[in-house]
Amino acid sequence: MTANGSSRIQQQMYTRERSGIFRPNEGFDTIAKSAGLDAGFIKKVLHPFCVYDAPAELVSQGEKGEARYPQALHLFHADTGQLVLGRSIYQAADFTGLRSAFFTHNYIIPVERAAAVKDYPGLLRTAFASSYDIEQGMELPELEQLPAEAEVDHPASPSALLASLGIDEKMFKQLLFAVMSSIVTRRKVFVALDVEVEALTECAIQLASVLYGSLPYAYRRALGLLTYSKDPQSRKGIHLTFVERGSLRPNDRQIDKDYTFDLASRRVTNVDIDLAKQPYLNFAWNNLSLPERAEAFYDFAEQLLQGMDSQQYTAIVSCHELAVLYQIEGGDASLYMQNRNIVLRSMLGYLEPVGAALAKPRLQKLFRDCFDREYERVQQGQAPDPDIVKCFIEYEAIAGGTAGLGSDLLGYLIRSLYEASKEKNREWMEAYYDLIEGSGRVSQTFFAALLRGGKTISLFFPFMQRKFQKATRAEEVVNLAFHWSSQYPILLDTNEFIDLATGQLMEKLRREVEPVSAVNTVLDMIDRLFEEKSHSASEPMLSFLKLLSYEANVFLLTELELEQVHKDAFLQIDFLAYPDEVRQWATRFPPHVESNAAVMLSAYRWFHDEDPDELLFDGLSPAEMDRLQKLGRRWLQDDLGQANFGRLVLAFYRGIDSGMIEYGSLLHYLQQHASDKETVYKFINWSKNKRFFLKGKKLAPGYASALVAYFKKYDRDAFKHRMNRKLYFDKAGPPLQAVYDTARRELSPPLVRWLHRNRKPLVWLMAIILVGGGITGGMAAFGIFDRDDPVVTGMPGTKPAPPQQAAEKQEPQVYARLTEDVADGELKPQTELVFEFGTEAECAAFQTDTITLKLMDGKAQSYTDFKVQYLCSEGSGASDDEGRSDAGLSDRAQDTGAGTEEPPSVKGQAGDAEPQTELDGNGDQTPAGNSSENPSGNSVGTDKTAADDTTQGEAPSPSGGTDADNAQDTIEPTRKQIYYAIVSLSEEVAVDHISEVLVNEKMVKYIKK
């Protein structure tokens, strides 16, 4: 830092004197300086280097000869840019003559001159003052140039010097690497030469000169050195320090991360590099005896580094790259062939700055020579690596204009594609196209040249196919096809491009989740292009767009999976609104397409028309009708509002010959998919006056039966809710009311049903009871029952009544029966196993995982998936003398669900079995095959034989026995309560073929009924 901004060299001297510039009393201080030096610069920058520590070896000897003490020559660059060159020497006596001192002389070279300095080895031979008399004044002159030493010893050759110091090739490369790395990493380099102390300075200067000669200019302008220091100390701005022999102690923590070279012990630390991968170090070693070549390289490097980032000037990688490029330029082609991509990439790095291609003609020429070499290889049939191609495309983008490769690059790229195509190297072809398409400067001219015509156009279609394949949506295919055909109209004249575009469009539509929406998007896009481009587009382009539109509609006609499409999307297919045209269009395709078109048109009519009817099925085959109805049922299951009741009926239409409607399946579908039971009730009430559900003025018998079956199987509590009765059942109207009454009666308890079935016999029974009661009352009034005759006991011939026997334990047993249940909306036969238990606990404990039926023919059938219904609660069983008719148990199991016990007076009677009934459409029941009374006038269900037996029992015994004898015969046995578990096998098994039943591999007594 100078005060007057002078461009001349400033001086400063420092030693021990009576007074100095900055202190009035004796001591060490600056004793003289040039006028251009700033006081702050002197104190902050120069004073830290005004120091000298005598070698320990000489101090221990008490040496007084100044000549033996090494000179401490320092050279460094200040933060403000000035170059400081100075020397500190030992003085045996100061101005008093009583104590030793040292003297420092510094030259400060201004910034503008320091940047131009190249001859750093010459700087080390500058002459310095050894003393100064302050009587001459404290101002030193400013210099135009540095004074040189009067006598300069010609140094030995670099090789000889290194050999004399014990430095071989490896150590020299390590030392050079350490010095270069120190400038970047700020790690210090300490060197202890194996020489006598008095020779240390000269040897250090000579070695430093060799190192300076091996460094590019950028490193020279940054390197700082000190030729002597007693101990290794880190100083700001100093990278290379020569220290006294023996001062580099092993494991010294202060320098354990620095580079150290102890030549006496040949110990080198922290320089672990692979010298085989350091091309610049090899280049520098070879140039030790060729200083002119080295200087020429430094000029080459300076030119290539122009415009680059400042850090690249001192990056070791830059030195490696520049050394290789310099040698390739010199004719060493092997270096290029060993690292073709690396070499090209490094050249591109130096060409990146704006205008560099013109500003660096040597580099531009070198790059062009490498391109010519690569083009020649391609012409010889060798497809280039994509990384090589990328370098040339990037160069064209950087250089362009007159400096670019021009048409030669287009020829190179086309030939590269051709050779990769011959080798069937699809991966490289794709990589070439990616690079070409990514370059705005190259792509347009390249494709124009490629598609100009001839054989080269065939190289384009693999690229175009890959572009289409990478597209994810159908509209992307249309967009790509339009873009490329509009840019290069010649494509519209090639069938291969048209087939590729239409084929890829169909392929993408097949992968769409919502194909109808995708087709509509494509059609909308094409319509928009027609509107925007119709005035400027060519006739081939308009025809091409029409073809894409047609192919999209063909996909819907021929490949649409109706079973996968949603109703709302399906109704967006526009061409279905023109049925005649669609039928004519479908005749061009195979029969299955015609069938598919017929189903589509009927489905569109079914769900598009306001009030569709069964005529939409006209012309459909049974298979087509079945497919259509399955489609309709799928679409309707989430939309079962009243507005769709009419459409729902058509989903179960079977035609006049088939009974019109599948009522059971319809009600089963409603039960499965209706959002609530109220929807089912609304449908039933809606259907009461619809022609499909009526036969005359009554409900169709099949529909009436299906309704009763629905309530019994799915909705047994329907009539228990007051709100349901009020809204839906009580005011249903004549056709439905009788069916509701029948269903309600069928769902009532068994006793109520029995009373309803036997209402006429009950009237006669009540009359007999009343008459008998009257007669008995009259007899009582006449005192017939008031006789006091003693009771005769123990008369001869009488038998004492035996005590009542306790009931024996009932062992579990099982029998099989056939029943019917609703499955898929239809009544289907199935087999049930009825297990009987003597106690409620046994019944409740009944559990099974597997039931096995052994059949008469020796085969066995096992079941693991079945339903079990328990009738185990008190009152749910039956007495063993009450009869076990299938009909009676069926009523208990199916109708009560709780096993309500029937009166003993009616159980076991013939009337206990519920007669099979058939609804006549108005809810009335008629016995199947029987009249209400038998031919003899007895009520239905009255067992005449039983009545006769009872009458005979009241008469005296023919053998003369007494009433007691008869009383013994009429004693009733103890009744045993029976409990049930009913297992539904969900399939029909011939009951007569069952021989054994095993529960969890254990046999249960099987009885046949």
pLDDT in tens, 436-445: 999 888 998 9
Q: What is the greatest pairwise CA distance in the chain?
A: 182
Q: Looking at the predicted structure, is the pLDDT value of residue 756 above 90?
A: no
Confidence of residue 873 (pLDDT cuts 50, 70, 90): low
Q: Looking at the predicted structure, is the pLDDT value of residue 757 above 70?
A: no
pLDDT at 413: 94
Distance CA 658, CA 652 (A): 11
Find, among 80, 83, 26, the residue nearest to 49 by Cα: 83
Distance CA 476, CA 341 (A): 36
Distance CA 191, CA 172 (A): 12
Q: Is residue 843 one of the residues assigned to a domain?
A: yes
Concatenated DSSP letters of 401-458: GGGS-THHHHHHHHHHHHHHHHTT-HHHHHHHHHHHHT-HHHHHHHHHHHTTSGGGGG
Distance CA 384, CA 578 (A): 58
Q: Residue 624 corresponds to which tokens in the numbers above?
A: 């087509």
Q: What is the mean pLDDT of the chain?
A: 83
Q: Is residue 240 one of the residues assigned to a domain?
A: yes
pLDDT at 773: 65
Q: Looking at the predicted structure, is the pLDDT value of residue 548 above 90?
A: yes
Report the pLDDT averaged over residues 822-846.
77
Q: Looking at the predicted structure, is the pLDDT value of residue 404 above 50?
A: yes
Distance CA 218, CA 98 (A): 47
Q: How many CB atoms lie within 10 A of CB 7?
A: 14
Confidence of residue 785 (pLDDT cuts 50, 70, 90): low
pLDDT at 627: 94
Contacts of residue 641, Cβ cutoff 8 Å, sequence gap at least 6: 679
Q: Residue 749 corresponds to which tokens in the numbers above?
A: 């308890």
Task: Please give the single-letter amino acid code of residue 158.
Answer: P
Which of 271, 287, 303 is where one domain is finished? Answer: 287
Long-range CB contacts (< 8 A, 24+ apart) of 334-337?
A: 336/370, 336/373
Q: Please give the C-alpha separations between residue 800 and each of 549, 622, 870, 960, in angstroms, as whole numbers.
A: 108, 81, 43, 17
In angstroms, the first-to-last Cα distance of the chain is: 126
Structural domain total, the chain: 3
Q: Looking at the predicted structure, is the pLDDT value of residue 336 above 80?
A: yes
Concatenated DSSP letters of 41-54: HIIIIIGGG-----
Distance CA 42, CA 48 (A): 9
pLDDT at 260: 96
pLDDT at 890: 38
Least confident of 163-177, 199-213, 324-338, 644-658: 644-658
Q: Please give the C-alpha separations between residue 215 and each of 180, 350, 522, 646, in angstroms, as whole numbers.
A: 8, 20, 67, 97
Statement to judge: residues 63 and 189 lie in one domain: no
Q: Is residue 219 one of the residues assigned to a domain?
A: yes
DSSP state of 44: I
Q: Looking at the predicted structure, is the pLDDT value of residue 806 above 60?
A: no
DSSP state of 857: T
Which of 249, 266, 287 is where one domain is finished? Answer: 287
Statement to judge: residues 113 and 58 lie in one domain: yes
Rg (CA), the chain: 59
Statement to judge: residues 856 and 982 lie in one domain: yes
Distance CA 831, CA 991 (A): 8
Statement to judge: residues 846 and 988 lie in one domain: yes
pLDDT in tens, 412-436: 999 999 999 998 899 999 999 999 9
CATH no. for residue 205?
3.40.50
Report the pLDDT averaged over residues 887-900.
38
Q: Is residue 21 one of the residues assigned to a domain?
A: yes
pLDDT at 956: 38
Of residues 968 and 483, more confidently modeled: 483
Q: Is residue 94 one of the residues assigned to a domain?
A: yes
Q: Looking at the predicted structure, is the pLDDT value of residue 793 above 60?
A: no
Distance CA 644, CA 675 (A): 14
DSSP state of 371: H
DSSP state of 858: S
Q: Looking at the predicted structure, is the pLDDT value of residue 827 above 80?
A: no
pLDDT in tens, 761-782: 665 666 667 766 666 666 666 5
Q: Looking at the predicted structure, is the pLDDT value of residue 389 above 60?
A: yes
Percent of the chain whose predicted confidence (pLDDT) is above 70? 82
Confidence of residue 750 (pLDDT cuts 50, 70, 90): confident
pLDDT in tens, 202-230: 999 999 999 999 999 999 999 999 999 99
Statement to judge: residues 131 and 231 lie in one domain: no
Q: Which helix (H) or strand (E) holds 242?
A: strand 240-243
The structure's pTM equals 0.62
Supply angle C-alpha 344, 349, 355, rounded to 5: 115
Report the pLDDT averaged over residues 715-722.
89
Concatenated DSSP letters of 419-430: HHHHTT-HHHHH
Q: Please give the C-alpha separations between residue 424 and each of 125, 387, 412, 454, in angstroms, as whole numbers.
A: 68, 18, 18, 20
Long-range CB contacts (< 8 A, 24+ apart) of 630-633?
A: 630/563, 631/562, 631/563, 631/599, 631/603, 632/603, 632/606, 632/607, 633/669
The label of the residue with tokens 């009869």 reads: 883
The answer to whether 981 touches 812, Cβ cutoff 8 Å, is: no
Q: Is residue 819 one of the residues assigned to a domain?
A: yes
Statement to judge: residues 66 and 97 lie in one domain: yes
Report the pLDDT averaged over residues 591-597.
94
Q: Is residue 429 one of the residues assigned to a domain?
A: no
Report the pLDDT averaged over residues 686-715.
90
Report the pLDDT averaged over residues 654-676.
85
Confidence of residue 869 (pLDDT cuts 50, 70, 90): confident
Supply angle C-alpha 783, 788, 791, rounded to 5: 130
Q: Is residue 90 one of the residues assigned to a domain?
A: yes
Distance CA 944, CA 938 (A): 8
The answer to whether 182 touches 132, Cβ cutoff 8 Å, is: no
Within a 13 Å sphere around the CA of 904, how many CA atoms are in the beta-carbon half?
Answer: 8
The label of the residue with tokens 């490369």 reads: 173
Adjacent-strand bridge partners of 262: 192, 267
Q: Looking at the predicted structure, is the pLDDT value of residue 478 above 50?
A: yes
Concatenated DSSP letters of 724-742: HIIIIITT--HHHHHHHHH
Least confident of 42-56, 562-576, 955-969: 955-969
pLDDT at 355: 85
The answer to whether 831 touches 985, Cβ cutoff 8 Å, is: yes
Statement to judge: residues 847 and 986 lie in one domain: yes
Q: Residue 990 corresponds to which tokens in the numbers above?
A: 């011939």
pLDDT in tens, 895-925: 333 333 333 333 333 333 333 334 444 444 4
Supply angle C-alpha 376, 380, 382, rounded to 5: 95
Q: Residue 6 corresponds to which tokens in the numbers above?
A: 């002078």
Least confident of 210-214, 340-344, 637-641, 910-914: 910-914
Statement to judge: residues 105 and 208 lie in one domain: no
Report the pLDDT averaged over residues 38-64.
93
Q: Residue 648 corresponds to which tokens in the numbers above?
A: 């729902």
Q: How many CB atoms lie within 10 A of CB 266?
A: 12
Q: Residue 425 corresponds to which tokens in the numbers above?
A: 């190297």
Q: Looking at the predicted structure, is the pLDDT value of residue 399 above 90?
A: no
The answer to whether 747 touches 710, Cβ cutoff 8 Å, is: no
Statement to judge: residues 50 and 198 lie in one domain: no
pLDDT at 961: 39
Q: Which helix (H) or strand (E) holds 51?
A: none
Report the pLDDT averaged over residues 713-725.
89
Statement to judge: residues 995 and 847 lie in one domain: yes
Which of 287, 318, 343 is where one domain is finished? Answer: 287
pLDDT at 887: 36
Statement to judge: residues 106 and 21 lie in one domain: yes
pLDDT at 943: 41
Q: Looking at the predicted structure, is the pLDDT value of residue 257 above 60?
A: yes
Looking at 473-621, list the stretches that DSSP marks H as alpha helix, in order from N- to C-terminal side.
474-487, 495-511, 515-533, 539-559, 567-570, 579-586, 591-608
Least confident of 111-125, 260-274, 381-395, 589-603: 111-125
Handedness of CA 505, 510, 513, 515 (dihedral sign): positive
Confidence of residue 731 (pLDDT cuts 50, 70, 90): confident
Highest mean pLDDT among 124-138, 454-468, 723-737: 124-138
Report the pLDDT averaged over residues 775-798.
51
Percent of the chain whose predicted confidence (pLDDT) is above 90? 54
Adjacent-strand bridge partners of 84: 76, 108
Contacts of residue 258, Cβ cutoff 8 Å, sequence gap at least 6: 187, 188, 189, 190, 232, 234, 269, 270
Statement to judge: residues 46 and 135 lie in one domain: yes
pLDDT at 117: 82
Q: Which domain holds residue 210?
A: 158-287
Contacts of residue 260, Cβ cutoff 8 Å, sequence gap at least 6: 189, 190, 191, 192, 232, 248, 267, 268, 269, 270
Of residues 650 and 874, more confidently modeled: 650
